């Protein structure tokens, strides 16, 4: 039997908060084989939420810039109706539908696809400004850890 902390490392990216533009915590992927970014949106207004992942050279956000390589994305546009994550088109950003619902969006980040040549090994998740009644939270799940959790 394995346990999440033995094989994966969850880290809070964004604590639940209202729909202003939000920047999550920057995290290093230097010891991760992959990082999954899970974004929960309780969409109470029909205004879509734009989600992006940015890369940086340190956990302070130095040189933060958009991803240049597309990444796999999955989404559940209505968690109350289904628990199915549907594969979306690979991209560097994702916009939710305008449907009022609790949603889950998952980005899969491979650290090797960051701009490693120029020292980029950190990421953050960002949401653009949205309606104040839309609540967003996010977490990172580091997997394939090189040196344990």
CATH number of the domain enclosing 93 = 2.60.120.380
Which parts of the chain fold into alpha helices (H)? 4-7
Number of domains into which the chain is organized: 1
Does 104 fall in a domain? yes
Residues whose CB falls within 8 Å of the CB of residue 99, separated by 6 or more in sequence, listed in order: 43, 46, 77, 78
Read off the pLDDT of residues 42-83 as tens digits, 9 standing for 90 and up. Answer: 999 988 999 999 999 999 999 999 999 999 999 999 999 999
Would the pLDDT of 40 be above 80? yes
Question: What residue numbers bound the domain in which 48 lies?
Answer: 4-143
Whether 114 is covered by a domain: the verdict is: yes
Nearest 5°: the CA angle 65, 66, 70 is 150
Please check whether residue 74 lies inside any domain of the structure. Answer: yes
**In which band, very low, low, confident or very high, does the pLDDT at 141 lie, cut at 50, 70 and 90?**
very high
Q: What is the pLDDT of residue 1?
A: 64
Lowest mean pLDDT among 1-5, 8-12, 75-79, 111-115: 1-5
Residue 148, domain member (yes or no)? no
Domain contains 17: yes
Question: Residue 144 — pLDDT band, cuts 50, 70, 90?
Answer: confident
CA distance 130 to 91: 20
pLDDT at residue number 85: 97
For residues 29 and 20, give the distance between their C-alpha atoms in angstroms, rounded to a whole number.
26
């Amino acid at each position: 039997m394995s346990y999440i902390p033995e094989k994966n490392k969850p880290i809070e990216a964004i604590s639940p908060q209202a729909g202003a533009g939000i920047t999550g915590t920057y995290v290093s992927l230097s010891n991760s084989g992959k990082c999954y970014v899970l974004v929960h949106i309780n969409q109470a207004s029909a205004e879509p939420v734009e989600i992006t992942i940015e890369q940086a050279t340190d956990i302070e956000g130095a040189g933060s810039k958009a991803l240049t390589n597309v990444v796999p994305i999955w989404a559940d546009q209505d968690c109350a109706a289904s628990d199915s994550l549907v594969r979306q088109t690979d991209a560097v950003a994702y916009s939710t539908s305008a449907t009022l619902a609790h949603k889950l969006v998952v980005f899969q980040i491979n650290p090797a696809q960051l701009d490693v040549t120029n020292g980029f090994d950190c990421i953050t998740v960002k949401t653009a400004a949205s309606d104040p009644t839309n609540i967003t939270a996010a977490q990172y799940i580091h997997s394939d850890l090189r040196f344990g959790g």
